[in-house]
Chain A
Amino acid sequence: MTAAMRFAKSHEWIRPEADGTATVGISAYAVEALTDLVFMQLPKVGSRVEAGQSFGEIESVKAVSDLYAPVSGEVVAVNATLPERLETLGKDPYGEGWIVRIRPDDPAAVDTLLDRAAYDALVASTPH
């Protein structure tokens, strides 16, 4: 995990990479809260994602949840084997459990999201 990682209120994380792309996943809190993950649908490489809009879905035994894009951009890679090994999300949500890599339209948009401290505070204030 790097200091530059940012979080959306909807529990996705995004980390800018050196090549101008950004990696997106879901937080450890989200994985813990969902539990019993059974299915994930990923977007296609080359498709567009819009900030705050669904780019895929993740399903637990109990319910289906949308994955929301933290920023707008183009999908340049997906973690294609992740749906077959969803337990990876629990073991390493910020590493091997990455979901998509996007090329943000505006790299500065990432900076408007929550930093680690703000996100932790959000989670801490969420009733369990």
Chain B
Amino acid sequence: MPEGTAPITGQAHTVSPEPLRTPLFNWHQRHGGRIVDFAGWSMPVQYGSIVDEHLAVRRAAGLFDVSHMGRLTVSGPDAAAWLESLMTRRVAGMPRGRVRYTLIASEDTAGGAVRILDDALVAHAPVVPADAPVAGDAAPVLGLVVNASNRERVLAWLRSRLPARGVELVDRTFATAMLAVQGPAAAGIVSGLTGPDAARVAALANYSSTTATLAGVPAVVSRTGYTGEDGYEVVVAAPQATAVCDALLAAGAAKGILPCGLGARDTLRLEAGMPLYGHELLEDSDPFAIGLGLAIDLDGRRFPGSERFRAAAAHTGGPVRVGIAFAGRRAAREGSAVVVSGSECGRVTSGSFIPTLGRAVAMAMIERRYAAPGTAVEVIVRDSSQPGEVVPLPFYRRPKPTAVS
């Protein structure tokens, strides 16, 4: 059994400075959340069983606190054009309410040293209810949601590129809470709490966002998520987070909703084949090799990193992201070597036992010539060699996807 900081007690590693708390910290404790330090935040890794929480999302619904993620508002007459100049994806022409997945890269002034800082969602919509445009105000309001681990450096990079006037950039992370309600029952649970807005919320297309009254309080509601399941992410003012969480849990009780921690969030996104910054996606990654080419729009555009990505798009030869399914339950973890015919051909980027399939899987970056599905591989897990095979991603696809925007 582990000693000290090992996972047996679920204790956070002691870090300095003191980890941040979301407005739901006490709520997590009341619901038995096991708190760990994650990206500088005290977050619940699980409340009960990760397997139960994972399966609740696949079969009914799960409620996640994702308030640790960064929420930024970009507004002002030049907001859209400015953001467009910095994102890898077009964001200026998005219809109101549209949400788009993008990467954010920085480039030093000499035009070299490109670093992918983060992946993010950009919305042509406010990211927090307080920033909803006033009626008659034509200036665009855009929202940006970034990873907790990258929030500060993304902010620093964006601030360094702010023009003297015409754009305002505000970090709304600490003034608000963000919740994810994910699973086949999510639409009924969330829309059922939106009163007169219910029909609009239920009909919200994937990757769309709207403002609505949720459990009696102003909210931004988006049809987005990180689980491979239908679902919503909602943002409310920090003081109202606990009441909204209680209302969502109560509304979903009969349907089997469970509070879910970061443990289930990770197994769900892994099962759904979604890359995670810091694991699949790194500063120097080739986005095309990870399967994130969709997040790079090079057509007639220049943005930080565009020349590097143009070169990457023209060059195929490096390692690519693949799925590996194992015969057994023993999980390969990040960094495990992938071996074909006795030689190492890549490394695991994420791996776990995944509940829906009941066996271990991994994502890995491996040499392209071994990336064909069906290729037999061995993965070195501690002192053993685990047989597996390359399989297409995702490992799990929800039975009846709703329309993709």
Partner-B contacts on A (CB < 8 A)? 8-12, 26, 30, 33-36, 38-39, 41, 57, 59-68, 126-128
Contacts and interface: CB of A to CB of B under 8 A. Distances in A.
B330 A35 contact: no
Interface string B261-283: 00100010000000000000000
A34 B7 contact: yes
A10 B263 contact: no
A48 to B, nearest CB: 17
Nearest to B267: A61
Which are the 4 A-B pairs with shortest beta-carbon distances?
Answer: A11-B1, A63-B7, A10-B1, A38-B353
Given A59-B330, A60-B7, A127-B11, A36 B1 contact: no
B130 to A, nearest CB: 36
Contacts of B22: none
B1 A57 contact: no
Interface stretch (B46-54, B140-148, B243-251, B307-315): B46-54
Q: Which residue of B46, B49, B267, B331 has the most chain A CB atoms within 10 A of its CB atom?
A: B331
Given A59-B330, A61-B263, A66 B50 contact: no
B34 A128 contact: yes
Given A10-B1, A57-B382, A33 B353 contact: no
B7 A62 contact: yes
Given A39-B328, A57-B382, A66 B1 contact: yes
Interface residues of B, number: 29
Given A33-B9, A39-B328, A61 B50 contact: yes
Contact of B353 (A10, A30, A39, A127): A39
Interface in B40-63: 45-46, 48-51
Interface of B: 1-3, 6-11, 34, 45-46, 48-51, 263, 267, 328-331, 333, 352-353, 355, 360, 382, 384
Contact of B9 (A61, A68, A126): A126
Given A62-B45, A66-B1, A39 B8 contact: no
Contacts of B263: 61-62
Q: Which residue of B1, B6, B330, B384 has the most chain A CB atoms within 10 A of its CB atom?
A: B1
Contacts, number: 76
A26 B11 CA distance: 19
B355 to A, nearest CB: 7
Contacts of A33: 8-10
B11 A36 contact: no
A64 to B, nearest CB: 7
A128 B2 contact: no
A65 B50 contact: no
Given A41-B330, A62-B45, A65-B8, 7 more contacts: A12-B1, A33-B9, A36-B51, A60-B7, A62-B50, A63-B7, A127-B9
A12 B2 CA distance: 10
Contacts of B355: 61
Contacts of B11: 127
14 contacts: A33-B8, A34-B7, A35-B49, A57-B382, A60-B50, A61-B267, A61-B353, A62-B45, A66-B1, A68-B1, A126-B9, A127-B11, A128-B9, A128-B34
Nearest to A127: B11
Nearest to B8: A33
Nearest to B354: A61
Contact of B3 (A10, A36, A41): A10
A9 B45 CA distance: 24
B50 A35 contact: yes
B30 to A, nearest CB: 13
B204 to A, nearest CB: 32
Contacts of A127: 9, 11
Contact of A65 (B2, B45, B51, B333): B2
